[in-house]
Amino acid sequence: INHPMDLFTINSKLKNDKYTSIKDFEKDMHLIFHNCYTYNDRGSEIYNLGEELESVFNKIWVEKVIFQVGQKEKLKRVRDTDDSSTGKL
């Protein structure tokens, strides 16, 4: 494994504000899964658990991204409404 990554390291990076973007966090998570599939044999218990964890992560991640996009759109609509009510463009 050329680039090791684990949940403890991710947790530590989160606690110490080491991530500069949400994409960096996502990249580290996917690195864990990639390493899991590289190191463990297909069909092994660890490989299968890695697939399960990745599936759950992807589901939650997509839900969070969709929620964030929705929140940004709501904020934009509120700002647009506020600007139009005050006559600002």
Find the angle CA(20)-CA(79)-CA(74) to the nearest 5 degrees: 70
Residue boundaries of the structural domains of the chain: 7-83
- Mean pLDDT value of segment 12-39: 96
Residue 86 has pLDDT above 70, yes or no: no
The rounded distance, in Å, linking the Cα atoms of 55 and 47 is 12
- The CATH fold assigned to 7-83 is Histone Acetyltransferase; Chain A (1.20.920)
Confidence tier at 73 by pLDDT (50, 70, 90): confident
Task: Dihedral sign for Cα 54, 60, 63, 64, please.
Answer: negative
- Mean pLDDT value of segment 25-45: 97
- Mean pLDDT value of segment 23-45: 97
Q: What is the overall mean pLDDT for the chain?
A: 87
Which pLDDT score is estimated for 66? 77
